[in-house]
Structure 1
Amino acid sequence: MNDVVRVQEHGRLIVGRGGLTEAELEFLLGLRQRGPYFFAEERVQGNWYCRFGGYAGAIAMPGGRTLEVLPKVGDLDDPASRSLLVRMLAGAEIGPSIEDAAADYGDSPTLIEAYLRFAADLALREVRLGLVHAYRRLDRRTPVVRGQLLIAKQLALLPERLDVHIARVEDYRADTPVNRSIKAGVRWIARVTRVAATAAKAREVVMRMDAVSDSTGPLRVLGDALRRLQGSIERDRRHRRLAPLLRVLGLLLDGTAVAPEAGAAAPGPTLMFDMSKVFEALLAARLRRTLSGCSVDEQASHRFDIAGEFMLRPDLLVRQGGKPALVLDAKWKRVSGPADVDDADLRQVFAYARILGLTDAALVYPKLNGAGAPLQHVQVADESGVRIHLWQVTVTAAGWNELDSDLGRLGSKAGLSPALR
């Protein structure tokens, strides 16, 4: 039996007959109960299938197999599909940035192994540069005065002792909370990876960190610790270079992907991403780079009625000089012509434009594999003057130059200037 079971977004897998086993299905059902509805069961011609929704990623299942759900682009066995997901996560600032090596990590057996390998590579590079040390303040009882003598404590606790002194010292050591979390995370990588080279790198990291204490406790506790450390690492000059490593370990251990959690029974991590949210975040990140002097609001609330009892939350709102300039709704789905455009989507984005006082709005779709209908716009049949652009942007594993160009042209339609490069 193959160690990896692959399916594309909105594809389906049979239960039994070489597909998912009953035990694997039961495990996936448990994940779905604790997380989003990322697949549904359906019966076709007497057979049961799992049909997957708009999520992509990977799940380590009981029994040793990994389920990988890839974006709806390319072939299932094409590493470019995994490279695209890795690059989109990095570009959307959801996953750690491995832009320069997305193709290399796309060759990994699964998405999980790609991130395990990336984490092991980062950790090995950092420990070879040397462990980051930090001062720790300690109060010690010593026969000699070393550091700052704590006179108040001395008089209160040991007033008659001349052979013991209570002193405060600054101990410079590598045994820091950051290093302890990294060591625990890398030790876990060595245990769960199924790639010998990744395991060897992780073991070397653990060996080089022998001066660091071992952390104990559930993985969820470690994931929480990593998330807290990420919030403070940028303010700590000594540990700042470790921020990318903490981020990928946090992704693996904390389930920061908008995903079902692995749970206690899972032999490895669960990395499942809502592709609509990934596409939306990617557009926001690239718009900030592409449009000069503009800011981008994501899912910001706006009043629909004067009383403020009902709210609108457009996916993206581009502002120029603090004022709304272009509203966008991101749609991660294929379109081949006007017939594929949902009427409800048109009405929704029109409402955004009217409430915000704009004449330009856009429904933005991915142009996967370079295919797609010609770009066009819809002129609303009223006196509002609102134009709704049906805009397709290029999304490929090769990079973001074409995507940026597509977004720049869309911005120009609304009178916004692309940034100079």
Structure 2
Amino acid sequence: MQSYTIREWEKLAYGDGEGQIPAHYADKLAALAVRSPFAGRGGSGVLEHGRHALRARGVVGILAAADCSLEILPKIDVGRTGNVEQQNAAIRKRLIHMLAVALNLKLDLGSITDLAWQRETLLEILIRVFCDKLTEAVRKGMPRRYVEQEDDLSALRGRLDVARQFTRHVVNPSRLACQFDILSEDTSLNRIMKAAVLHLSRMSRSSGNQQRLRELAFIYADIADTSPLALRWDDVVIDRTNRRWRELLSMARLFLEGRYQTTTGGAGQGTALLFEMNTLFEEYVGRLISRALAGTDLTVSLQGGRLFCLSADSTERGLFQTKPDILIRRAGTVTHVIDTKWKRISSRIDDPKQGVTQGDVYQMMAYAQLYRAPRLTLLYPHHPGLGATELVHARHRITGHETILETASIDVANGGSVLDRLRSLLLRDEPVSELLM
């Protein structure tokens, strides 16, 4: 199977040379990308299917057709040291770290060698982590629960089903219609795990992962097969008796029906595991901010505003609902609104506006009006072009108001002391300039 890797917003030219992709492979992958919900109205939200090249957009992950696959990595600056494979390995690590934070997972990646990070795709690494965690969990025992059963027996077991007894066995009283509970492993949680194992068996191209998945499929052989669409997610209750399965359940949901990903199949088209970086960056930053402010008098809400810009006198229904990414409150009052943007801004030397769009500024001014927040932040990913200073780059006062609007960045390539760095951003107080509109 031919595998290709590019980074978001980069191009992969058609051809048979190194760093190129044959046109017939490109056609298959582009057709698969169009079926994604991220494709958008024009069908180019994942890949632009140009005349001479494929171009990735702001969606990352894996597209896998029958005989080829394309890995799209985020544009994270990990430095210029090492070759391309080593740089891609570093990006995979950071992307999986972002996924772990966004999904509230605790992933032990220590068993994955540097060579594996370079040779295996994002999908294969995630499958490997899932298999290792699931194998460890089933060794400690599969979760079981009491399930109600009905059977016709010669002796009473459990309780008698009177209605069934006097309809079905009225002429044969030697058989008793029994209702009883048995401790069974055929539970909704185990059905979800089996569905994930079978699904990943169709997606994985790694011989090592295929071996792991075959071993797990054997363990789950007695669990009923259930279509992913028929799985009873709402029937799973995580409590103290099965808490070690919480992260496995989140990973299974990621593979089968995750918020960020989409799986496409049928008629040999292939499969996809995709993540929209705008959404992932928002969730990643939001959860980190919640952790950074834990223990303070500030509370954090993600997508928690939902006030309307307009209201009509003739109806109670509002118009143009707002959804700020992150709201920070003190004693119930909004003190800070943060909106995340997964795009590169320029330095103030190159552009005083730093590439911030007028629409973004108008959006933040609407938040200031609706939520009465004295501080607004547009938060972007950091890159070396912004210099060594990672956090606040510009602070302005909105003309005629006390509200402060600032642009800031966070380095997602640097996971060290990230909570301290965010705390520094959120609790700092500096002089500001006037924002001219």
CA distance change for structure 1 residues 381 and 175 in 2, over 3 Å: closer, same or farther?
A: closer
Give the deviation of 1:107 after TM superposition: 5.0
CA distance in 1, matches of 2:153, 2:35: 57
Shift of 1:14: 0.9
1:342 to 356, 364, 379: 356
Aligned to 2:255: 252
Question: Once the 2 structures are TM-superposed, how far is the Cα of residue 141 of structure 1 from its aligned partner?
Answer: 0.9
Give the 3 Å change call, closer, same or farther, for CA 322–400 of structure 1 in structure 2. Answer: farther
8 Å CA contact 1:327–1:361 kept in 2: the answer is: yes
**1:103–1:207 Cα change, 3 Å:** closer
What residue number does 2:187 align with?
176
Among 325, 332, 343, the alignment partner of 1:333 is: 343
The 1:60–1:299 alpha-carbon spacing in structure 2 relative to 1, beyond 3 Å, is farther
Match of 1:285 in 2: 287
Give the counterpart of 1:388 among 405, 421, 427: 405
8 Å contact 1:284–1:316 — kept in the other structure? yes
The answer to which of 355-364 and 82-91 deviates more is 355-364
- Deviations 1:16-73 (CA, angstroms, capped at 9, x unpaired): 3343333333332343244221122345xxxx1122111111111231x221111112
* 8 A contact 2:32–2:269 mirrored in 1: no
Structure 1 counterpart of 2:308, one-letter code:
R
TM-score (norm 2): 0.81
Which residue does 2:277 correspond to in 1?
275
Q: Which runs of 5+ in 1 are unaligned?
A: 416-421
Query: Structure 1 residue 250: deviation in Å?
Result: 2.5
Counterpart of 2:61 in structure 1 is: 57
1:334 and 1:371, CA in 2 relative to 1: closer, same or farther beyond 3 A? same
Is the Cα–Cα contact under 8 Å of residues 328 and 337 in structure 2 kept in the other structure? yes
Decide whether aligned partners of structure 1 residues 26 and 115 sit closer, same or farther in structure 2, where only a CA change above 3 A counts. Answer: same
The correspondence for 1:83, drawn from 84, 93, 111, is 93
Q: What is the TM-score normalised by the length of structure 1?
A: 0.84
Instruction: Kindly provide the CA deviation profile for residues 291-329 of structure 1, in whole angstroms up to 9, marking residues without a partner as x.
Output: 223122326322223544333332222222221110112
Contact 1:6–1:76 under 8 Å retained in 2: no
- Distance change (3 Å), C-alpha of 1:199 and 1:182: same
1:361 aligns to what?
Answer: 376
**Larger displacement relative to structure 2 (256-265 or 124-133):** 256-265
Q: CA deviation at 1:191?
A: 4.5
Mapped pair 1:5 → 2:4: yes
Of 109, 122, 126, which residue of structure 1 is paired with 2:137? 126
* Preserved CA contact (<8 Å) 1:124 1:202: no
CA contact (8 A) 1:326 1:361 kept: yes
Matched, 1:303 2:284: no
Which residues of 2 match residues 6-25 of structure 1 at below 5 A? Answer: 6-18=5-17, 19-25=20-26
One-letter amino acid of the counterpart of residue 147, structure 2: R
- d(CA) in 1 for partners of 2:417 and 2:189? 37
Structure 1 residues 350 and 373: CA distance shift in structure 2, 3 A? farther
2:191–2:224 CA contact under 8 A, matched in 1: yes
1:72 corresponding residue in structure 2: 75
Count of matched residue pairs = 397
1:233 and 1:174 map into 2 onto residues whose CA distance is 13
Tell me, yes or no, if the aligned pair for 1:326 and 1:358 is still in contact at 8 Å: yes
Counterpart CA distance in 2 for 1:327 and 1:16 is 48
Alpha carbons of structure 1 residues 207 and 103: separation in structure 2 relative to 1, 3 Å = closer
**2:417 aligned partner:** 401
* Offset of residue 181 of structure 1: 3.3
Q: Which string of whole-angstrom CA distances, capped at 9 and with x for unpartnered residues, describes residues 95-141 of structure 1?
A: 84426559758456101101111221122112211222222211211
C-alpha distance in structure 2 between counterparts of 1:290 and 1:49, whole Å:
43
What's the counterpart of residue 419 of structure 1?
Answer: none
Shift of 1:241: 3.1
Map 1:111-260 → 2, pairs under 5 A: 111-210=122-221, 212-215=222-225, 221-222=227-228, 224-226=229-231, 228-229=232-233, 231-235=234-238, 238-254=241-257, 256-260=258-262
Of residues 264-273 and 76-85 in structure 1, the stretch that sits farther from structure 2 once superposed is 264-273
2-side partners of 1:352 and 1:21: how far apart?
48
Give, in whole Å, the separation in 2 of the partners of 1:215 and 1:12.
41
Letter in 2 for 1:364: L
Asked whether the equivalents of residues 298 and 315 of structure 1 are also in contact (C-alpha less than 8 Å), the reply is yes
Structure 2: runs of 5+ lacking an equivalent: 39-44, 313-317, 431-437
Of all paired residues, the percent bearing the same amino acid is 25
Distance 1:134 1:35 in 2: 37
Structure 2 CA distance for partners of 1:81 and 1:369, relative to 1, 3 Å: farther
Residue type at the aligned position of 1:20: I
- Give yes or no for contact 1:86–1:102 (8 Å, CA) kept in 2: no
Q: Please tell me the root mean square deviation across aligned C-alpha atoms, in Å.
A: 2.9
